[in-house]
Amino acid sequence: MSHPKPRLTVLGIETSCDETAAAIVRVPAAGVQSADGGAGGDGFDGPAEILADVVWSQIEDHAPYRGVVPEIAARAHVEKVDAAVAAALAEAGLGFGDLDGVAATAGPGLIGGVMVGLLTGKAIALAHGLPLIAVNHLEGHALSPRLGAATPFPYLLLLASGGHCQFLAVDGLGQYRRLGSTIDDAAGEAFDKTAKLLGLGFPGGPLVEAAARGGTAARFDLPRPLVGRPGCDLSFAGLKTAVARQAAALAPLSPKDQADLAAAFQAAVVDVLADRTRAAMRLAPDSRRLVLAGGVAANQAIRKALEAIAESQGWSFAAPPLRHCTDNAAMIALAGAERLRAGLDDPLEAPARARWPLDAAAAAAAPVHKPGRKGAKA
């Protein structure tokens, strides 16, 4: 008589932007007692066991252009993805025969890069007889706090990154309700463009944060878009434009100008996110847990401000480990493992998608994107 495996081991592949990443994550199988004494099945809340976590950045490739060039990113993924998978298997001390499934980002993202990772995952699944899990990159971020600590459902999620900025009520695996979204730029995109305006370099988020530490935010009176408005939608385009005007008026910028503008910009973003988070909490009062995820979650000023808001309302606060705020394959492997343990996998015909909202109904009823319009990818 065969016995089910007590644990599921899943390879994850992430190539949606400018990181070529592969990771291997292990979780308790459904119905199996977990290491902390909790039950399997729907009882798994994390943390997951990370056996390998490989992330290869393309920063040097894109730095001359002060932004990600899709064609360069896709070519780099083609060159590196097989080696990243091999490195993850070596780090974990495993072979393909030790895996229970392979998860790959199927969107949203830069379509050329998404196709590279998804096709790699399909090839591995086909060659080794493994189930394929085509993962929504946003779901990877939504579940990423469970990589480092137990984070039970439900929770209110602020997903803030270079391409996405939205509030979601996360009621369970695959159960996402969009409460609000950016109506123009994402927060991370605003950081990157502000860094470019100030001549700080790429990637912008860490460089703006570093410059802001030595700046005086009060020197500039920048706008706080949508603060105090009904709902919890966000906007950053006007703030970015205000920074551009100030920078143009001061050109050429001195180091003090750069630091002060960076500090003023970051303070404005913190205020906007704080106000919009309070509004989102009022829309999802039963969540009682605030989760911050995505690349912007690595910003310490934002992290501390939202943690303080949660504490003031008697809510708990969670965020992924700093390593797993930016794009990584561990969150893709985790999302794949959680789906696999729920009995969900995908056919080899699963498509690559440039856009793939977590809440399809909300996206159809109130689309953030319209034909001919640019903006955040969600």
Q: Tell me the β-bridge partners of 50.
A: 25
Burial of 343 (C-beta count, 10 Å sphere; 0-12/13-18/19+) = exposed
Tokens (6 digits) for 362: 């909300």
Residue 331 has pLDDT above 90, yes or no: yes
The neighbour count for residue 123, using CB atoms within 10 Å, is 14
Residue 369: the pLDDT is: 52
Residue by residue, DSSP assigns 72-99 as HHHHHHHHHHHHHHHHHHHHHT--GGG-
Burial of 376 (C-beta count, 10 Å sphere; 0-12/13-18/19+) = buried
Residue 37: the pLDDT is: 40
Which CATH code fits 155-319? Answer: 3.30.420.40
Q: Name 196's Cβ contacts closer than 8 Å, sequence gap at least 6.
A: 66, 67, 202, 204
CATH classification number, 7-148+324-359, choose in 3.40.640.10, 3.90.226.10, 1.20.210.10, 3.30.420.40? 3.30.420.40
Report the percentage of the chain scoring pLDDT > 70: 92
Report the percentage of the chain scoring pLDDT > 90: 80
DSSP structural state of residue 351: P
Residue 34 pLDDT class (50, 70, 90 cuts): very low
Poorest-pLDDT segment among 308-312, 319-323, 345-349, 370-374: 370-374
Q: 256: number of CA atoms within 13 Å, CB side?
A: 2
State how far the Cα of 9 lies from the Cα of 48, in Å rounded to an integer: 10
How confident is the model over 178-201, as pLDDT tens digits?
999 999 999 999 999 999 999 998
Phi-psi region of 140 (alpha: psi -120 to 50; beta: other; left: phi over 0): alpha
Residue 274: the pLDDT is: 98
**204, 193 contact by CB (below 8 A):** yes
Where in the chain are the domains? 7-148+324-359, 155-319
Q: Tell me the β-bridge partners of 117.
A: none
> What ranges in 178-329 are assigned the alpha helix state H?
187-198, 204-212, 237-250, 255-283, 300-312
- Section 278-282 average pLDDT: 97
**Number of H helices and number of E strands within the chain?**
11, 10
Residue 157: the pLDDT is: 97
> Measured in Å, how far apart are the chain's first and last C-alpha atoms?
47
How confident is the model over 114-169, as pLDDT tens digits?
999 999 999 999 999 999 999 999 999 999 999 999 999 999 999 998 888 999 99
Q: How far is CA 281 from CA 16, 31, 109, 309, in A?
A: 30, 33, 28, 10
The reply to whether domains 7-148+324-359 and 155-319 share a CATH topology is yes
Mean pLDDT of the chain: 90
Pairing of strands 7-14, 101-107: parallel
